[in-house]
Structure 1
Amino acid sequence: MEVFRGESVMIKPYSVGGDHLSCKLVELSNLDLAAYPMYTKVLYAFQAPTPTTQALKEGLAKVLTHYRVLAGRYTKQQFNGHLAIDLNDEGAVLIQGKADGSIADTMPFLPSPLLLDLVPPTPPGVKELILVQITRFICGGLVIGIALHHHVADGHATFTFINSWGKAVRGESIQQPPWIHDRSLLKARDLPQQVFDHYEYNTIAHKKSPRQSIRSTKVFHFDGIFLDKLKSKVKQSNKEKKNYTTFEVLVAHLWKCISGARGLDGDLQTKASIPIDGRKRINPPIPEEYFGNVVYESWAQTTVSELINGSLDFVTELIHKSITKVDNDFIRSAIDFFELSKEITGPLELDDTTNVIATSWLRFPYYEFHFGMGKPVYVGPSMIRSEGLIILYDSYTKEGSVDVMVCLLEPHMAIFEQTCFQI
């Protein structure tokens, strides 16, 4: 199957200056700057009937009125050099494409070069903060690929915006409170106080994958029966009979399998980096509608030997502790730490052959994005190419299943495939 990209147009806000922002610049928060400097890319597939391209354009213009930051461009403030968004309303890119196949032929969108063709390209130098590609299939189906820059919004905010686009196309009103873009909700204290060690964001050396190494990206389907068995095994072996989440148990299992497949030296330190949404952890809580980053990348870490030889219960508890430590005091300390730092360095580097970065899309309401003609038949990430990155998301098959997209070096992937379904 081939995808042919055609016309590219710029979509500007329907009503310039129509949201609650009266300023010309929105300064990014410390948590925005700490996010990975990359585009989050997601695919939505719809069966026929689907809305017209004009309806999608008009809906995007309407929703950009409420999310003007996405129609702006990055700039640096003259007085402090901090990165900000210029609310110049230059717009978002919309690319129109055609595919010479059907949605049924493409399901379940397994990793392949086709996935890269269904999302907007984002080569170095791209200035737009959001790019959209609308690809129509010969069956009348539609795939929408979205690329949104991570400095602007985390996963929660990204899917909130996308769902608002669906509302705009359906003709529903979009009610946004005046503080939706107010970065002062996450500003440092007047007297910054770093109370905790935020080693996750210190500059350290990592073991990078050789550039010539061949990577393999695959999706693994874990059904509800497998997940229940995995959780039961952990609960039976831990003395306190803790009820760990599906995410905690599955990431612990995958971390063990990946480290075993890599054949790493047992004395090496290995880390599982986990993005933690702080909206409900901060006091007072950050409102759900807030559009920005409220994420802290927390680490679970141990030696390779302890990880592989330790029980699944032991590794799950490491994951659990790395998540629960991120509370109000911890996040406020992190914001102040970033304020005191001369330069904010990101968390674990991508393409790291020692560690794992586990991103969760579980329970995000991405299947609520629709145009009144039927919900998407598939939602998932585009093809990932960073070694050690895994993305967990609700399977299109539903029934409590979880799909995991994994990128590893090719020899390691062959071993991982043999062990990841063993309990």
Structure 2
Amino acid sequence: MESSIVKKISECYVKPKNEVSESKTPYHLPPLDLIMLSYHYIQDGLLFMKPNSHLNGDNEFSIHSFLESLKQSLSDTLVHFYPLAGQLVVHFDEDQHQCRVFVDCNKGPGARFSHATALDFTVSDILSPNDDIPFVVRSFFDYNEEAVNYEGHSKPLLSVQVTQLIDGVFIACSINHAISDGTSYWHFWNVWSEIHRGSGNNVSISRLPIHNRWFPEGCVLPIPLPFTHPNQFVKKFEPPQLREKMFHFSPESIATLKTKANKESNSSDMISSFQALSALVWRSTVRANDLPHDQVIYNYMFANNRHRLNPPLPQNYFGTCIKGITTKTSAGELLDNNLGWAASLLHQSVVNLTDKVVRDFVKDWLKSPYCYHHTDLHDYNSIAMEHSPRFDMYGNDFGIGKPVAVRNGPGNKAVGVVFAYPGCEGNGSVDFEICLPPHSMKALETHDEFMAAVSLPK
């Protein structure tokens, strides 16, 4: 019912401001992009307080002027991120029993830009620090939970929705996960906000994206996939009923967890803050799900490969360059041992992700290509750590002040999925959005060890 309160007001499409010569050639997708074709779009949004007046004058804030300035700066930004203005091309060859997928950067009308209103809601309604994330937030995004990356052959690869609240503005971006990972996704946000702040001036962009894609030697482009129909590699996913809730961890709380994990594992401070925090959440959700002691359980962490490859890729490499790190044990072992034991398992899994592991993974994939599916990765016996508190989310200022919160859309949500964000207060604080069935979430909320580490946001 809440979603019906969000009303679409207008919609248009945005192209790069200038013609980009590179956009005339096919934009080929490496293996680590193609493996994501059945996953959902990356969907995150920033919540802003609506200013009482323009920063450069005494006029009342005008949503229409703000929308126009966003569209203009988006057009400028797409000159540098030109693949996002195109669409996927899919060629099936039944005789060869294969298909080929690439990006035509000039196909389609461009990036979608829409304006919506939710004038029954305030910023405080969305923040709800002690409550679940309101269901209405899902309607702040253009795509529903069923839209997968493969549909980028008919849908825009980038969709922006700006939703006006009573006292705030929510800017949401949905970007196709088959051409962008979280690092590239937030790089786009950072450049867009940088260009927007410098609109009307000669903007010097601090970090330009690099579009030279990483392919193993000997790849035939576009890479052939052994499929003759979408249903052979695309699966829709409908998660069970979930509660979605934000939990805040202060710098002091995280430091305490890190010290405890390193002391218990005798690891000489090798365990990172994020590994200690992830271990706490893993143990707590397994306990909340009340799994049998002999149940095999998994922790999936998606790691950036750019710096792990040899030679390393530049941090500004645009594309999907992540690999899942799997840590496996049993529910009994995880709960019978302490926090340090669990954190040391995660630490070792991260250490084991090397250049050779990534290259061997890609080599094996090329021999028998497949796509990741939510149904294969997410269940009561798994937890998936997605996003990263290292991404610069709160530095995205569009001239109306710093964001007051980050929230995500309906995509990529399943039992045990945890989205990691930097805390709004900064200084190393972390916010986790945790997705669990209602009975498991209730158990998590009453778990003493977990809740003792949770803090109220400042």
**Structure 2-normalised TM-score?**
0.80
Shift of 1:350: 4.9
1:254-282 CA deviation, whole Å, 9 max, x = no partner? 11111111111211211100001011111
Shift of 1:380: 3.4
| Residue 102 (structure 1) aligned to one of 122, 145, 155 | 122
Gaps of 5+ in 2: 55-60, 221-236, 454-458
Q: Is the 8 A contact 2:43 2:174 kept in 1?
A: yes
Shift of 1:326: 1.2
Q: Does 1:190 align with 2:218?
A: yes
Match of 1:115 in 2: 137
Distance 2:290 2:16 in 1: 52
| Residue 7 (structure 2) aligned to one of 4, 7, 17 | 4
Match of 1:55 in 2: 69
One-letter code aligned to 1:11: V
Q: Is the 8 A contact 1:168 1:174 kept in 2?
A: yes
Q: Does 1:45 align with 2:39?
A: no
One-letter code aligned to 1:58: Q
Count of aligned pairs between the two proteins: 400
Q: Is the 8 A contact 1:134 1:145 kept in 2?
A: yes
Shift of 1:386: 1.2
One-letter code aligned to 2:260: K
Q: Is the 8 A contact 1:120 1:133 kept in 2?
A: yes
In structure 2, relative to structure 1, the CA distance for the partners of 1:245 and 1:55 (3 Å cut) is same
One-letter code aligned to 1:9: C
Match of 1:247 in 2: 274
In structure 2, relative to structure 1, the CA distance for the partners of 1:113 and 1:19 (3 Å cut) is farther
Percent identity, aligned pairs only, is: 24
In structure 2, relative to structure 1, the CA distance for the partners of 1:343 and 1:212 (3 Å cut) is closer
1:132-175 CA deviation, whole Å, 9 max, x = no partner? 11122333x32101111111100000011111111222222447
**Structure 2 matches for 1:140-151, cutoff 5 A?**
141-151=168-178
Match of 1:81 in 2: 99
Distance 2:339 2:21 in 1: 49
Shift of 1:379: 2.4
Task: Give the secondary structure class of the aligned counterpart of 1:367.
Answer: coil
Match of 2:29 in 1: 28
Q: Is the 8 A contact 1:41 1:148 kept in 2?
A: yes
Task: Give the secondary structure class of the aligned counterpart of 2:346.
Answer: helix
In structure 2, relative to structure 1, the CA distance for the partners of 1:407 and 1:176 (3 Å cut) is closer
One-letter code aligned to 1:86: D
**Structure 2 matches for 1:234-383, cutoff 5 A?**
234-345=261-372, 349-382=376-409
In structure 2, relative to structure 1, the CA distance for the partners of 1:300 and 1:133 (3 Å cut) is same
Q: Is the 8 A contact 1:19 1:68 kept in 2?
A: no
Match of 2:225 in 1: none
Distance 2:219 2:115 in 1: 50
**Structure 2 matches for 1:8-19, cutoff 5 A?**
8-16=11-19, 18=20
Q: Does 1:155 align with 2:182?
A: yes
Q: Is the 8 A contact 1:389 1:406 kept in 2?
A: yes
| Residue 433 (structure 2) aligned to one of 388, 396, 405 | 405
One-letter code aligned to 1:119: F
Point out the more displaced range, 244-253 or 7-16: 7-16
Shift of 1:37: 1.7
Gaps of 5+ in 1: 193-208
In structure 2, relative to structure 1, the CA distance for the partners of 1:161 and 1:222 (3 Å cut) is same
Task: Give the secondary structure class of the aligned counterpart of 2:79.
Answer: helix
1:350-373 CA deviation, whole Å, 9 max, x = no partner? 541111101132111122222244
One-letter code aligned to 1:7: S
Shift of 1:78: 6.3
Task: Give the secondary structure class of the aligned counterpart of 1:160.
Answer: helix
Shift of 1:118: 1.6
One-letter code aligned to 1:106: I
Distance 2:10 2:371 in 1: 38
One-letter code aligned to 2:85: A
One-letter code aligned to 1:328: D
Distance 1:278 1:355 in 2: 22
Which 4+ runs in 1 deviate beyond 6 A? none
Q: Does 1:421 align with 2:451?
A: yes
Distance 2:46 2:21 in 1: 27
Distance 1:377 1:361 in 2: 18
Distance 1:167 1:232 in 2: 37
Match of 2:57 in 1: none
Task: Give the secondary structure class of the aligned counterpart of 1:313.
Answer: helix
In structure 2, relative to structure 1, the CA distance for the partners of 1:342 and 1:400 (3 Å cut) is closer
One-letter code aligned to 1:96: H
In structure 2, relative to structure 1, the CA distance for the partners of 1:316 and 1:112 (3 Å cut) is same
Distance 2:437 2:15 in 1: 41
Task: Give the secondary structure class of the aligned counterpart of 1:81.
Answer: strand
One-letter code aligned to 2:12: V
In structure 2, relative to structure 1, the CA distance for the partners of 1:112 and 1:14 (3 Å cut) is same
Match of 2:251 in 1: 224
Match of 2:161 in 1: 133
In structure 2, relative to structure 1, the CA distance for the partners of 1:415 and 1:399 (3 Å cut) is same
Distance 1:103 1:151 in 2: 32
Distance 1:8 1:400 in 2: 38
Task: Give the secondary structure class of the aligned counterpart of 1:114.
Answer: helix
Q: Is the 8 A contact 2:23 2:104 kept in 1?
A: no
Q: Is the 8 A contact 1:42 1:145 kept in 2?
A: yes
Q: Is the 8 A contact 1:98 1:136 kept in 2?
A: yes
Task: Give the secondary structure class of the aligned counterpart of 1:82.
Answer: strand
Task: Give the secondary structure class of the aligned counterpart of 1:217.
Answer: strand
